[in-house]
Structure 1
Amino acid sequence: MCSYCGCRDISLIGRFMTEHEEIVNVAGVLHRAVEGHGPDSVAEALGHTLAHLHPHTTAEERGLFAVLRRNPDFTEHIDGLCAEHARLDDLAERIRGGDTALVNTFYDELRDHIDKEDNGLFPAAAIEMDGPDWVEAIQLTPDEGPHTHDEPHDDTH
């Protein structure tokens, strides 16, 4: 995770980077569940991963990404990151459908995606955005953390 530019000190970026760490941790359980554990373990770990991932990607897209997308210099990059969110959802659905061979692909693509945000987008946003942009991004960002297994949640964007 990025620690060299100070962008983590911006509250919204700090939140997203902390959530990235949590997502990687729970996705690690999924990554390990496919190695010698049954399909029930994989399904449970996938559910737990998505309970962390979906509120996070929704918050990014509705807040920070919505504000950055208006800048033509960022539009294509934001669209690519949103496409990666959709790709991760597609992989997750295929895993949920029984294709557990995709767990490693899901895990690797998730880690790569997070790296693009932490070490590319977030530092660039810290430089590009000004006070009113941050206020708007924060106002647009849902303040919803991960869902527990006992809470109903929507596994779609």
Structure 2
Amino acid sequence: MTEHEDLVNFTGDLYRARDSGDPAAVAKALERLDALLHPHTHAEERGLFTVLRRSREFHEHVDGLCAEHAGLGAMADEIRRGDFEVIDEFIAALRDHMDKEDNGLFPAAAIELEGPDWEEVVALTESDPSRGATATSSPSAVASARSAAIPGRSVPEPT
């Protein structure tokens, strides 16, 4: 969830850069946003989405979110090539996507998944080379993953 908040903040930088009319400022703002977005979406697909896909009821939703990840990447590429008209659409699509995760998928995952599932989510996510980390499924990492899936709620660490 914190990464989603950071992404929202970075969209403000992208708007301001576009409004400045400075292509270098747009490139820099997009690079900063993409430096968080790409590893974030990759980690979701590698961790949480992989585990949720085991349940048939999540297939369609997870596949849709993965398609949106690809669409966001394609729009970012258009902006990189100088099509600044896409910025509004990109930001709207990003916000809509995060809303689907924050208010749909993540709360559903918090209900669906159990302790061992969360341990696997954390292990898969932390072993993702795009995140620059190694797998450590500590109790606090599992509690953090579960808390991130439940907006506004913290989940106590296992004892």
TM-score, length-normalised on structure 2? 0.78
Larger relative contact order (C-alpha < 8 A, sep ≥ 6)? 1
Percent of residue pairs identical: 60
- Verify the 8 A CA contact 1:30 1:45 in the aligned structure 2: yes
SS in 2 for 1:133: helix
TM superposition shift of 1:142? 3.0
- Verify the 8 A CA contact 1:60 1:141 in the aligned structure 2: yes
Aligned residue among 15, 25, 38 for 2:9? 25
- Runs of 4+ more than 2 Å apart: 142-145
**Unpaired stretches in structure 1, ≥5 consecutive residues:** 1-16, 146-157
TM superposition shift of 1:36? 2.9
* Deviation readout 1:81-136 (Å, 9 max, x if unpaired): 00000000000001100101101110110000000000000000000111111111
TM superposition shift of 1:32? 2.0
The alignment covers a number of residue pairs equal to 129
Provide the aligned C-alpha RMSD in A: 1.2
Task: Indicate whether 1:91 and 2:75 are aligned.
Answer: yes
Aligned to 1:73: 57
Distance 2:11 2:126 in 1: 22
Aligned to 2:31: 47
The aligned amino acid for 2:2 is T
Instruction: Answer with 1 or 2: which has the greater Rg.
Output: 2
Distance 2:47 2:99 in 1: 19
* Deviation readout 1:3-22 (Å, 9 max, x if unpaired): xxxxxxxxxxxxxx011101
